[in-house]
A and B are shown apart, each in its own frame.
Chain A
Amino acid sequence: MINKIVASAAEAVADIQHGATVMIGGFGTAGMPSELIDALIAQGARDLTIVNNNAGNAETGLAALLKLKRVRKIICSFPRQTDSYVFDALYHAGEIELELVPQGNLAERIRAAGAGIGAFFTPTGYGTQLAEGKETRLIDGRHYVLEYPIRADIALIKAHRGDRWGNLVYRKTARNFGPIMASAAKCTIAQVREVVALGELDPEVIVTPGIFVQRIVQTAGTATLSRPQAVA
């Protein structure tokens, strides 16, 4: 019998290795797997490469992991926020490496990894600093930049409901990076608000089929609103 349900967040993240590449879902606090991040903090893995849209807010969640200097490198699109001071200080001190990726390239590089694509040409970033040194090609009169997939050892994501086969549905804009990250990691761990019996999720509305998910843990977590960001 397939049963991907694990008893606790701590058990779910227990075998994450030092030096692992870990994708973390969420856009702001919507879809952020806070309980799994807290479990990773307690678990102790260090020298991590983190893939997330942002670089942490205030001093909880991802920012707390950064503050403990457990992250060697972060791959993200929007690190600078009004309350990203933990990341800002590490960056200015040269204590963290930043790979800045336009958000659509970030999403597509993750999607490509999950889909087995070797690389792809994207119009985004052509002619900018973020494409310096990268291969380009003119296709049908338009300029493109070659971008490679981002694969991960682990994905930590948050969904709304799931079953023991790993099927997931999400809630509103908390879906964001969850489905693509689930496909791009060797081991995807999903925290869900509710585990339901097989067959309870309507197969017409399952967003992430269970083949992309290795572990499910039920948590009480509900998101809270972060401070709205003033950005350019």
Chain B
Amino acid sequence: MMKRFSRDQMAAHVAHDIPEGAYVNLGIGLPTLVANHLPRDREILLHSENGLLGMGPAPAANAQDPDLINASKQPVTLLAGGAYFHHADSFAMMRGGHLDFCVLGAFQVSAKGDLANWHTGAAGAIPAVGGAMDLAVGAKNVYVMMEHQTKSGQSKITAQCTYPITAVECVNRIYTDLAVIDVTAHGLLVLAIVDGLAFHDLERLTGVALINATAAAAA
């Protein structure tokens, strides 16, 4: 059985790479786990597109406020120093390049960094996009967290996206359960691989050309 990074390990990898002072939007699903792993000695401000900056953790059950929710419509809190604003201001933060990082889930990422995460395109599926396209074009760094393969074993990193795309050439880094990979003009740079998996096996599973940039390769 191949070793894989757990969801919490993936979240910890992302959290480790977010520096002091960053403004960050965590997408729905897997990326929400990143909040639990942000180092406590760094001041990192979380943005939620429904109009708050400086989002804090979930409140106690008896302290929930229906007027204070996140983009997943879950009750949250506001840190001291946090702020509320309307939707046009919130998306100005997103589209205007003010957010340092967004972390998004994905169905697929292409070798060029095209992102597909909003619609399966299946017949009869009701499309819903929310703020995904705005985040993908607007954040300074777009990080994706996803399983490396589909349940049927197909790579989610592909030469081209077969699902409808969310944005063109927008992804900077991919965190999967097998590896951490940078998307660059020169190709896909593998920064880390799960223990026990050889680079050439990762490349075979991925199905597109990878460049070995791990510490082991440099040694």
Contacts and interface: CB of A to CB of B under 8 A. Distances in A.
B86 A180 contact: yes
B131 A104 contact: yes
A76 to B, nearest CB: 9
B90 interface: yes
Nearest to B164: A129
B87 A124 contact: no
Given A176-B51, A225-B66, A107 B90 contact: yes
Contact of B66 (A111, A222, A228): A222
Contacts of B75: 225
Contact of A30 (B66, B118, B137, B165): B66
Contacts of A177: 86-87
B194 interface: no
B195 interface: no
A30 B69 contact: yes
B87 A176 contact: yes
B86 A228 contact: no
A114 to B, nearest CB: 9
B119 A123 contact: no
B127 A80 contact: yes
Contacts of A123: 95, 137-138
Contacts of A223: 66-67
A43 interface: no
Contacts of A80: 126-128
Nearest to A127: B168
Interface string B23-58: 000001100000000000000000011111000000
B72 A126 contact: no
Interface string B53-77: 0000000000011111100111100
A210 interface: no
Contacts of B167: 124, 126-128
Nearest to A178: B86
Interface in B142-168: 164-168
Nearest to A26: B50
A125 interface: yes
Interface of B: 28-29, 48-52, 64-69, 72-75, 78, 84-88, 90-91, 94-95, 105, 107, 117-119, 124, 126-134, 137-138, 164-168
